[in-house]
Amino acid sequence: MRGKCGLFHTSYAQEARFFQTGFLKFSLGLFFIALLCTPLYLSNYQLSMLNMINIAVIGAVALNLLTGCCGQISLGHGAFIGVGAYATGLCSLAGWPFIPALLFGGLVTALVGMIFGVPSLRLKGIYLAIATLAAQLILSYVFMHWESMTGGSVGLGLDAPAICGLALDSDAKMFYLTLTVAVFSVLLVSNILRTRHGRAFVAIRDFHQSAESVGVNLFSYKLQAFAVSSFLAGISGGLWAHYTMYITPEQFDILLSIRYLAMIIIGGMGSVLGSIFGAVFVTLLPEGLGALAQWAGAFFPNISTYFLAMREGIFGLILVLFLIFEPEGLVHRWRLIKAYWKLYPFAY
């Protein structure tokens, strides 16, 4: 390593690696050590935020694979997450161990996602968005009214998950579980994107006619994108259900779908790192606004009440500002910052 003045690859495999430099591996290692030690120095509330971030990362990466990479807009991911939550929850209530229940929940969601992905053969862009919106509404209705299964508006109460007899009953223990699953999902999607399936997905997004002419079976690959994406959404839902230990239909409404779309738009469409940024940003946004309101409260006594009332509005405003000023998302800003520091202090 020493004495090298650049990045030189001597094999194709080297070039395909995720982490190209020792510095990157080292800093990522430090980051993970810091993450793994968080239960030592963060409060329970802060840990619960991290848990929500991990769960959101899984969902955002999943949606980004489908919408950002394969170009199939889905307004139904909130409901797909709900399918995973209910399927996993019901399996747990039926006495299944946690891991098989989670995987089964993912598979059920993959199946549901594929069924609602069938119209994607004929519908594109905004029309597909409406078709998936129908999926969202239908599934919301099912959650609410299939009372014998979902408990209707009362919802389902669940126990803390247990893996091999170890009950994950605290935020810290759940944190390790959600972090592991999130890391696995990120790796899974990143791997897809550097192999033939990921390239086929992007090919479909960029030019479906030439994708067909190079031999990509459009229908099959769109369905595969739906399947993988909703599988991960289902896993995310299963984790969420077991983390909050209580699920109701209201959690999985259209607003959740829009939140996830906002995550990938803010983070950066078609980028795995962008999905992570977006998930962190959107999950922490209410906290940030709350802190801001508290700080401003020192000067304007009543502002925090207004702030809370305006939360959705501010969320919308931030989304619009991102679309105008940073349409490529946080990940683009991140790349610019990296490029700047790479050559610092020599700008050119």
Partner 1 sequence: MALLDVKGVTLTFRGLAALLSVDFSVEQGQIASLIGPNGAGKTSMLNCISGRYHPDEGSITLNGRDLLVMAAHDRVTAGLCRTFQNIALFKGLSVLDNLMVGRHTRMEYGLLSSMLYWGKARRSEDLHRGRIEQIIDFLGLSPYRHQIAGRLPYGVQKRVELGRALAGEPKLLLLDEPMAGMNLEETEDMARYILDIKEEWDVTVLLVEHDMGVVMDISDHVVVLDFGQVLASGTPAQVQIDPEVVTAYLGSENRSFLGR
List binders of partner 1 among 51-110 (CB under 8 A).
none
Q: Contact 279/263 with Cβ under 8 angstroms?
A: yes
> Which residue from 85, 216, 266, 276 is in contact with partner 1, where contact means CB under 8 A?
216
Using CB under 8 A as the criterion, what x/- string covers residues 16-35 for binding partner 1? x-------------------
- The stretch among 56-64, 127-135, 188-196, 286-294 that binds partner 1 (CB under 8 A) is 188-196
Instruction: Tell me 163's DSSP state.
Output: E
Alpha carbons 50 and 44: distance in angstroms, whole number: 10
# residues contacting partner 1 (CB under 8 A) = 32
Q: Is 305 in the site for partner 1 (CB under 8 A)?
A: no
d(CA 71, CA 123): 12
- For position 6 contacting partner 1 by CB under 8 A, the verdict is no
d(CA 9, CA 12): 7
Distance, CA of 273 to CA of 162 (rounded, Å) = 30
Q: Provide the 3-class DSSP secondary structure of residue 162.
A: strand
Tell the smallest beta-carbon distance from residue 2 to partner 1 (Å): 26
The smaller minimum CB distance to partner 1, of residues 51 and 185, is found at 185
Choosing from 6, 209, 313, 347, the residue that interacts with partner 1 (CB under 8 A) is: 209
Tell whether residue 309 is a contact of partner 1 (CB under 8 A).
no
Binder to partner 1 among 56, 63, 90, 188 (CB under 8 A)?
188
10 interacts with partner 1 by CB under 8 A: no
Using CB under 8 A as the criterion, what x/- string covers residues 217-256 for binding partner 1? xx-----x---x----------------------------
Residue 170 in contact with partner 1, rule: CB under 8 A: no
Task: Determine the longest span between alpha carbons in the chain, in angstroms.
Answer: 68
Q: In sequence order, what are the beta bridge partners of 181?
A: none
β-strands 156-157, 246-247: how paired? antiparallel
Q: Report how far residue 284's alpha carbon sits from residue 53's, in angstroms, rounded to the nearest whole number.
A: 8
Dist CA 59 CA 318 (whole Å): 21
Q: Does 332 bind partner 1 (CB under 8 A)?
A: no
| Beta strand extents in the chain (DSSP E only) | 156-157, 162-163, 166-167, 246-247
Choice between 185 and 257, CB closer to partner 1: 185
Candidates 20, 195, 294, 305; binder of partner 1 (CB under 8 A) is: 195
Please identify, using beta-carbon distances, which residue of 71 and 238 lies nearer to partner 1: 71
Helix (H/G/I), strand (E/B), else coil: 136: helix
Residues 6 or more apart whose Cβ sits within 8 Å of residue 4? none
Binding piece for partner 1, criterion CB under 8 A, among 11-19, 74-82, 237-245, 251-259:
11-19
CB of 315 to partner 1, least distance (A): 28
Residue 212 in contact with partner 1, rule: CB under 8 A: yes
Question: Which residues are bridge partners to 299 per DSSP?
Answer: none
Stretch that binds partner 1, among 43-51, 135-143, 185-193, 304-312 (CB under 8 A): 185-193
Tell me the two tokens of residue 10: 């001597």
- Under the binding rule (CB under 8 A), the answer on residue 203 touching partner 1 is yes
Q: How many residues are there in the chain?
A: 348
Q: Which is nearer to partner 1, 212 or 250 (CB)?
A: 212
Let me know: does 224 contact 197? Beta carbons within 8 Å.
yes
Half-sphere exposure in the Cβ direction for 59 (13 Å, CA): 39
Binding site for partner 1 (CB under 8 A): 11-13, 16, 188, 191-192, 194-200, 202-203, 205-207, 209-218, 224, 228, 270
